[in-house]
Structure 1
Amino acid sequence: MRRTLYALLATAALCSCAADGSYTLDGTVEGVEGTLYLTDLFTSRIDSARADANGHFRFSGQVSEATPALLRSTDGRFTTRLFLEPGSIELQGKIFEPMGIRLAGTPSNEALGRFRDSITELSHLAFERQDSAFRALERRTIAANRDNMLGVTLLAYNLADELKASEMLEEIGRFPAHMQEQRMLSELKRMALQGLKTEPGQPYTEIVQPAPDGTPLKLSSLIGEPATRYVLVEFWASWCRPCMNEVPYLKAAYERFHPLGLEIYGVSFDREREPWLAAIRDEGLKWPQVSELKHFDNSAARDYAVRSIPSNLLIDTRSGRIVATNLRGERLEKRLEELLGR
C-alpha cells in the first residue's frame, strides 16, 4: 500500500543513550487542554501531566535505555511520537499541525527534528514521487545516524519488511558494537538470524497446529502427498484487511494450479476461533487451515520469523526446500505459471 508522508512520519521515532537515566520533557502545544498522557512503548508504562492555560506541560522520569514514546491528549485531538532519553527534551507546536511539532534538546530528538524537516521538504513533489523520494531519504538518514537510535528505528519500523534476512544482518553489522546491544537492534538481529533459515534454497521447517476440527495437521503431511509438487504456506488472519485482500488471488491460483500439483497450507494468526472459522466459511477457502489462536505468539511465526502478515513461502515438495517468499497479488500466479506451466 502507498504510504502518505504523514503516515510515514507517524511511524518515525528515534532515541539515544546517555550516562544518566533521568529525563525531563518540557512542552508547549497551542490549543491543548487538560491531561496529557506519555506512554513508554517498550514497557507500556503511562505517565500523565496537565497542560496549563497556555498549553504548557512537564514530565520527568527515568529510562534504563532510550525508548520510543507516544504523547497524546485525553480527547485524542493531539498525538505525536518522540523518544525518551536522558536529558532535557523540548517540544513545541500547535494542536492541529502534527507536521510542525518541533523537538529539541537531546541528540535523538534533534535528529528527529531534522528528519521531519526533510520529510516536509518532500511535500512539494507530485504524490506519485513522494514514496520513492521518502525511501531514498530514509536510506540516507539511516546511513548518517548509525550512532544513535534514529538509524535503528528507521531500520526497524520502515525497512525491516523489505530486506532479506541476509541484507538485514549486513545492515545491522554497519552499526557500532554498542548500538547492536540496544534491545530493538538485538531483536532485529535475532529475527534476521532466524530468517536466514527461511530464505530461498533453505529446507522448510515443520509446522504442526490444530486444524478447524481440532486435530493436529502437519505441514509435512501435505508435502508428502505424491500428487503435490508445491505447497504455499500462507500466514494470515481474519482481522487482517490486507490478508483478506489477497484472498481473490489465492482462490484464483488454487483453482488454476491445484489440479497441477499446488496445495496451500493456511496458518492463521487469529486470536478467537469463531472469526477464524467464519472467514474460512464465508470466503470459501478450500485449502487446509491451521491455527494455534495465539495471534503473533504463534510457533510458526517464530520459526519462520514472520514480522507481518500477509506473508507466505513456497516449498518444492521434491527437494523440501523453499523456492520463493512473499508472492503477493498477481506475482503468485506468475511464479506458479513459471513452475507448473499453463
Structure 2
Amino acid sequence: MKKILFTVSLLLGCLFTSMAQGDSYKIEGRLANTVNGKLLLIADTENGMIDIGEATVTNGIFEFTGRMPEMTVVYLTPVKKTPVLATIMLENAHYTITLGTNEMIVESDSEAQKIWKEFDDLNKCLLRTQQQMDAQARQNISLQPKLQQEFSKIENKVLADELALIKKYSDSYVSAYVVAGKMLGMDDTKLTARYEALGEKAKASFYGKRVATKLAEMQKVAVGAIAPNFSAPLADGGVLALHETKGKVKIVDFWASWCQPCRQENVNLLKLYKRYRPRGLEIISVSLDDNKQAWLTAIGQDGSDWKNVSDLKQPSAIATEYLVTTIPRTFILDEENRIVAKNLRGKELEKFIVEMLKKKKE
C-alpha cells in the first residue's frame, strides 16, 4: 500500500512539475540599471485590447508570469500605453527582454516568437532603408524621384519575401496577424493573395476572420463591381449623385487641399479633362477636406473646373464607403458605373482613358 501511494505521489509530482514548466509563461526584463517605473502587458483579443498584467521596473529588472490558454499577441507598454515597447507572441514559454541600441530585444524558446522575428526583421530592414532615403532626399530634393523609384523596388521585394514567409508558416497564428496588420494599406488583389496563402487554422483565427471581413468589404469596390452610389454637395452649389452623372468614362478622384501629391495630380487631370471631355470623359473629385474655404481655394488655384464634391466631414462618409485610406486614389468607371480600373495616374491613366473611349466609338 505504501509503495502504491509513493508511486502515485511521484506521478503527481512529475505532472505538476510538467504543468509548471509548460503551462505558464515567464517574461524576465533585464534593462539598464537606471530604468525604473511601471509596465503593462496588453493583449490583442477578439474582444479588443485587454490589460493582462502590470509589473514594476526596479533598477531595470521586471517580471511577468501567468498562463495563456492559447498563443496571444501582446504588447509591452508604459502605463500610459504609448509607445509600444515590444511585441510578444505570448504562449506558455520563457521570454527575456533586454535593451538594444534603439529597441527592446525579445528572446524566447517560443516557436511563435521566432517566426515573428523573421517577419519583424523584414519590416525593420525596410524602415531603416526608408529613413536613409528620406535623409538623402532632404539633403538633395532633386534626388527624390529617383529615390522613390528605388524604394518602391525595395518595398516590393520585401513584400514578396513577406509573402514567402506567410506561405512557409501558413498555419501559424503569426502569419494571420501579419496579414491583418497590413490589410488597410493593400488593394484587394494583394490582400487576396496573402489571405489565400494562409492555412485553414490561420484563417480560423480572429485575425484571419478580420481579413475575410475586410475582403468582403473590398469586393464592393473591386474592379468589376458597380461603384457604390453617393450623393454629395457640389462646390458651386447643388448636389451630385454619382449614378446620375453622365459620362462614357468617369474618373472618381479622392483628394484634399492639403495633399501635395493630389494637387500635383490635378495638373494631369486638368489636361485630361480639356482633351477628352468633348469625347465623353467626366471627372468627379471627392475632397476629404473638412474646411470649406480651404477646399474652394484649392479648386480655384488648380483650375479644377470639373465636378467637385465633398461632405466636409472627418472622416468622409464617401471615402469610408470606398475604403480610401490614402490619397490620391482614383476609380475609373464605365458608362454603367462599373469599376474598370483603380489608382491609375499620369500617362498610364491617359492611355487607359483613350482605349476606353475608342471602344465606345467602335
**TM-score, scaled relative to structure 1:** 0.69
- Structure 2 residue matching 1:87: 3-state secondary structure: coil
Percent identity reads 25
Which residue of 91, 95, 103 maps to 1:90?
95
Q: Which has the larger radius of gyration?
A: 2
Please give the residue correspondences for 1:44-123 in structure 2 after superposition, counting only pairs within 5 Å: 50-54=56-60, 56=62, 58=64, 66-67=72-73, 69=75, 71=77, 80-83=85-88, 85-88=90-93, 90-94=95-99, 96-98=101-103, 101-104=105-108, 106-117=110-121
Which residue of 283, 305, 312 maps to 2:330?
312
Give the Å deviation of 1:142.
0.7
Aligned-residue CA RMSD (Å): 4.4
Aligned to 1:193: 216
Q: C-alpha deviations, 1:8-41, integer Å up to 9, x for none?
A: xxxxxxxxxxxxx997654334475545566666
Q: C-alpha deviations, 1:137-169, integer Å up to 9, x for none?
A: 10111112222232223323446655535x644
Give the Å deviation of 1:217.
1.9
Aligned to 1:7: none
- Structure 1 residue matching 2:116: 3-state secondary structure: helix
- Contact 1:314–1:324, Cα closer than 8 Å, also in 2: yes
Q: Which has the higher contact order (CA 8 A, sep 6+)?
A: 1
Give the Å deviation of 1:85.
3.8
Structure 2 segments unaligned to the other structure (5+ residues): 1-22, 134-149
- Seen in structure 2, the aligned counterparts of structure 1 residues 131 and 97 have a Cα distance that, compared at 3 Å, is same
2-structure distance, mates of 1:324, 1:117: 34
- Seen in structure 2, the aligned counterparts of structure 1 residues 70 and 254 have a Cα distance that, compared at 3 Å, is farther
Aligned to 1:134: 158
Aligned to 2:345: 328
Query: Which residue identity does 2:333 align to in structure 1?
Result: I
- Seen in structure 2, the aligned counterparts of structure 1 residues 26 and 245 have a Cα distance that, compared at 3 Å, is farther
**Count of residue pairs brought into register by the alignment:** 312
Query: Which residue identity does 2:105 align to in structure 1?
Result: I
Alignment pair present for 1:285 and 2:304: yes
Query: Which residue identity does 1:311 align to in structure 2?
Result: R
Deviation larger for 261-270 or 24-33: 24-33
- Seen in structure 2, the aligned counterparts of structure 1 residues 114 and 274 have a Cα distance that, compared at 3 Å, is same
Give the Å deviation of 1:73.
9.1
Question: Would you tell me which structure has more helix in proportion to its own residues?
Answer: 2
Alignment pair present for 1:207 and 2:230: yes
2-structure distance, mates of 1:23, 1:296: 41
1-structure distance, mates of 2:338, 2:111: 46
Which residue of 247, 254, 268 maps to 2:273?
254
Give the Å deviation of 1:90.
2.6
2-structure distance, mates of 1:213, 1:121: 48
Give the Å deviation of 1:315.
0.9
